[in-house]
Amino acid sequence: MKIDKLPKIFLDAAPVLDKLEEAGFEAYFVGGSVRDLILGHHIHDIDIATSAYPEEVKNLFVKTIDTGIKHGTVTVLYNGNSYEITTFRTESGYQDFRRPDHVTFVQNLSEDIKRRDFTINALAMNTRGEIIDFYDGLGDIDKQLIRAVGDPVQRFHEDALRMMRAVRFMSQLKFKLEDKTEQAILDNHLLLKNISIERIRDEFVKMGIGSNARTAFEVFLTTKLSEEVPHFAGKSKLLEVFPKLQFSPTEETSLWSIIIILLKLPNDKIHEFMRAWKNSNAMTDEVERVVSFFDILSEKTPSDYDLFKVGKTTLLNTIDVAHILGQPIDSKVLVDRYLALPIKSTDELVIDGRFLIQAGFKPGPQLGVILEEIKEKVVDGVLENNQDEISLYINKYL
């Protein structure tokens, strides 16, 4: 197969491959970019595989970064773009963290390709747009199939993260999983124990917010991958709700919130859960806010002050979660009520602690209590956000 008109992103990169070839090396586009080109998907970055050793790559280009020299990867900056150039290699390149130095370079493309994860990722392309397809990746793209290159058991022993990648690609690409590959995941799911949580998390999130998340999640459960990730073991009954949801999340915040709600985690366990998955503090805090506001929403109609305290971002995130979980809430009413609040943040209150002191209050903790009361009254529309009105109101305390 030959692609006649290459997109600009490849044309821009072509001189880099030309330079390697002129120096006597082989060089190809590989991995996700070739797959996405054939699929007609957006191409986010370009990976290049070459017979040149990292030092040889570095000698050919002016601006380079030692991204992962040990794994054979050098980043080349060229005409304002950056390209990861990796020397043909065997398994070890795929970040086996227990054996970081175990990398074997190989002489030709076919040796490199045969250790790649799935046939759809095992395509290569030269600058003339000719596709090199040793494992019928093109056929599998046609059949919308995720199939391991060669023996799936071997591929998963080289890098167990690939089992998570399989369900991630199912979700992102809406592809099916080939039977033998699926069976090998079930048989080898325990291998996932060896993989760092960060790497598992990144794949889990891509799976969970991909366009076919529900089908992929089902396979994540049936292959028992779910038994090897933090806090999911023994919880498949609770998690089985996910594939049956009316919608699936498109935002990471919603994904984590939904998982926590399905797992019925008590509020004081959310932090521990999010830490176990090595989530950032910002993500953890927001998910805690969303889950607790979801609890409020499930119990009652929130007050204006509830809406004020939760803020716009968390309100919208919680509405998204409620929608996905099929909670009957009137999101338009909630948003309109929020937008109609007299003030939306404490900054907008026309008075502050200093104002109260000038009015005759003694500094101290009592001040905060009064300020909070005024704020609540203003938010609820009982008191106008106006210094004269507020002065009249606080006189009763003086």
Ligand X SMILES: Nc1ccn([C@@H]2O[C@H](COP(=O)(O)OP(=O)(O)OP(=O)(O)O)[C@@H](O)[C@H]2O)c(=O)n1
Q: In the numeric block, which tokens belong to residue 199? A: 């790497």
- Which residue stretch of 155-163, 278-286, 361-369, 387-395 sits at the interface with ligand X (rule: CB under 6 A)? 155-163
Q: Does 54 bind ligand X (CB under 6 A)?
A: no
The nearest distance, CB 93 to ligand X, in angstroms, is: 8
The nearest distance, CB 344 to Mg ion, in angstroms, is: 41
Cβ partners under 8 Å of residue 270, min gap 6: 260, 284, 287, 288, 291
Select the binding partner of residue 94 from Mg ion, ligand X, none (C-beta < 5 to 8 A, by kind).
Answer: ligand X
Binding mask 125-144 for ligand X (x = CB under 6 A): --------------------
Nearer to ligand X, 52 or 334 (CB): 52
Give helix then strand counts, H and E, for the chain: 19, 9
Q: What is the distance between the alpha carbons of residues 317 and 271, in angstroms, rounded to a whole number?
A: 18
Strand-pairing partners, residue 73, are: 68, 86
CB 43 within 8 A of CB 165: no
Select the binding partner of residue 121 from ligand X, Mg ion, none (C-beta < 5 to 8 A, by kind).
Answer: ligand X
Question: Which residue is listed with tokens 């799935």?
Answer: 118
Q: What is the distance between the alpha carbons of residues 83 and 76, in angstroms, rounded to a whole number?
A: 5
Question: Which residue is listed with tokens 């305290």?
Answer: 309
- The count of C-alpha atoms lying within 13 angstroms of the C-alpha of 29, restricted to the half-sphere facing its C-beta, is 28
Q: Does 162 bind ligand X (CB under 6 A)?
A: yes
Nearer to Mg ion, 72 or 302 (CB): 72
Q: What is the distance between the alpha carbons of residues 259 and 78, in angstroms, rounded to a whole number?
A: 43
Helices 213-222 and 161-173 sit at what angle, rounded to 10 degrees?
150
Select the binding partner of residue 290 from ligand X, Mg ion, none (C-beta < 5 to 8 A, by kind).
Answer: none
Nearer to Mg ion, 47 or 227 (CB): 47
Cβ partners under 8 Å of residue 395, min gap 6: none
101 among annotated binding-site residues: no
Q: What is the distance between the alpha carbons of residues 37 and 10, in angstroms, rounded to a whole number?
A: 10
Nearer to Mg ion, 189 or 201 (CB): 201
Select the binding partner of residue 159 from Mg ion, ligand X, none (C-beta < 5 to 8 A, by kind).
Answer: ligand X
Candidates 10, 13, 29, 32; binder of Mg ion (CB under 5 A) is 32
Select the binding partner of residue 161 from ligand X, Mg ion, none (C-beta < 5 to 8 A, by kind).
Answer: ligand X
In 168-298, the DSSP E strands lie at: 176-177
Q: Does 93 bind Mg ion (CB under 5 A)?
A: no
Nearer to Mg ion, 32 or 72 (CB): 32
47 among annotated binding-site residues: yes
CB 236 within 8 A of CB 259: no
Q: Does 31 bind ligand X (CB under 6 A)?
A: yes
- Which residue stretch of 54-62, 116-124, 134-142, 358-366 sits at the interface with ligand X (rule: CB under 6 A)? 116-124
The nearest distance, CB 37 to Mg ion, in angstroms, is: 12
Binding mask 163-202 for ligand X (x = CB under 6 A): --x-------------------------------------
The residue ranges that bind Mg ion (CB under 5 A) are 32
